[in-house]
Amino acid sequence: MSKGRIPKSVSINLDQDGNELRRGPWTLEEDNLLIQHITSHGEGQWNSLAKSAGLKRTGKSCRLRWLNYLKPDIKRGNLAPHEQLLILELHSRWGNRWSKIAQHMPGRTDNEIKNYWRTRVQKQARQLKVDSNSKKFLEAVRLYWMPRLLEKIEQDSSPSSSAATSSPSSSSITTSETPKPAAAPPPPQINRPVLPNSGEEIQEISGFLTPAGLEPCGKIFCGKPFEDGGCYHVDIPGYDHVQELGCEGMSMSECHAADDDWFGSCFWNSDELWQFRKLEEVDV
DNA sequence: AATTCACTCAACCGCGCTTTG
DNA sequence: ACAAAGCGCGGTTGAGTGAAT
């Protein structure tokens, strides 16, 4: 939705010194002022920066605009499957520590990740009628969502196997391979489903789901190892977003929209919903 | 064509922590 | 040691958009 957004109305207040303070959407002129000033003077000291740049904005507002929107290395557009997977993993580790999660996702801001969680992940939780922070939901994510993301990543990384693709809504990894949690909710086998395309197993490395073929360390997707020494490598060699998705000629947003299609409005298929309900029954 | 609804995301707010004087 | 200012973080809001009716 970032495309062609018409600016909201701007309100003008007065600060305690009686100076004008603008609020609301930033104009192109304001953006340029901020960029120019930071380019020549650097960032930090946001309140004085706002004044010396001639911006009628709070320092906070300038900082936010710069960090979340104007900074040159910011990636725009939808999150790739491997980024989604990383968010799920890191959130399971750290909870709502958005800035900490963002540190491991170059080009992505805490705000963007937070928005993704609220709009996409919490939506899935609502569909299951559970709290997104509940154990049940996290289990369901681990059981169904993450393997599917891995599957998607695998598909994207190996164009030759595209014939064996499965549609988003069709149950791919579920019925035969996924361990059905008939009795008690069992974490053990959860981490070793088999990817249907390759027969490749998913391994768990220091609590992280990762395809067995990927190295546990060495090359780190996020560019930054975890503090505890672990790392999670989902850098897919040769993955070219535009090429793999057949997005040539599309705008960035169109391309990402195509990418997102497999996800659909409801992630869970009926089989998975059924299994989830069984989990709930066992639990009560 | 008009209206409603759900969704996205930029921007704001409040709070707590850190730095500075 | 203390207060004030600055900063960063997580939570929330609301306008714009497109799809559905």
Q: Which nucleotide is nearest to A115 (CA to C1')?
A: B9
Q: Is the pLDDT of residue A120 over 70?
A: yes
pLDDT class of A6 with cuts at 50, 70, 90? very low
H/E stretch holding A166 reads none
State residue A161's pLDDT score: 43
Q: What percent of chain A has pLDDT over 90?
A: 0
Helix count and strand count (H, E) for chain A: 12, 4
- Between residues A47 and A244, which one has the greater pLDDT? A47
> A67 CA to B7 C1', in Å?
24
- Asked if A70 and A34 touch (Cβ cutoff 8 Å), the reply is yes
Q: Is the pLDDT of residue A51 over 70?
A: yes
Q: Which nucleotide is nearest to A62 (CA to C1')?
A: B11
Q: Is the pLDDT of residue A110 over 80?
A: yes
- CB burial of residue A15 (10 Å; 0-12, 13-18, 19+): exposed
* Contacts of A200-203 spanning 24+ positions with Cβ under 8 A: A200/A154, A202/A147, A202/A150
Q: Provide CB contacts within 8 A for A17, sequence distance 6+.
A: none
User: DSSP label at A23?
Assistant: E
State residue A279's pLDDT score: 58
Across the strands, what pairs with A204?
Answer: A209
H/E stretch holding A50 reads helix A46-52
> A30 CA to C6 C1', in Å?
22
For A233-262, the pLDDT digits (tens) are 333 333 333 333 333 333 333 333 333 333
- The footprint of strand C (CB < 7 Å) covers A 1, 3-9, 44-48, 59-60, 63, 96-100, 110-111, 114-115, 118
> A257 CA to C18 C1', in Å?
13
Residue A5 CA: distances (Å) to CA of A1, A2, A77, A124:
7, 6, 14, 27
Residue A41 CA: distances (Å) to CA of A50, A52, A61, A111, A126:
12, 10, 18, 25, 46
> A115 CA to C13 C1', in Å?
13
Q: Is the pLDDT of residue A135 over 50?
A: yes
Q: Is the pLDDT of residue A213 over 80?
A: no
- Asked if A105 and A87 touch (Cβ cutoff 8 Å), the reply is yes
Q: Which nucleotide is nearest to A122 (CA to C1')?
A: B7
State residue A252's pLDDT score: 33
pLDDT class of A273 with cuts at 50, 70, 90? low
> A121 CA to B18 C1', in Å?
33
- Asked if A221 and A87 touch (Cβ cutoff 8 Å), the reply is no
In A112-215, beta strands by DSSP E: 202-205, 208-211
- Between residues A41 and A237, which one has the greater pLDDT? A41
pLDDT class of A116 with cuts at 50, 70, 90? confident
Mean pLDDT highest for which of A72-76, A176-180, A188-192? Answer: A72-76
Q: Is the pLDDT of residue A60 over 70?
A: yes
Residue A43 CA: distances (Å) to CA of A1, A34, A176, A253:
28, 10, 55, 30
Q: Please tell me which residue lies nearest to nucleotide C11, judged from CA to C1'.
A: A114
> A204 CA to C18 C1', in Å?
41
pLDDT class of A159 with cuts at 50, 70, 90? low
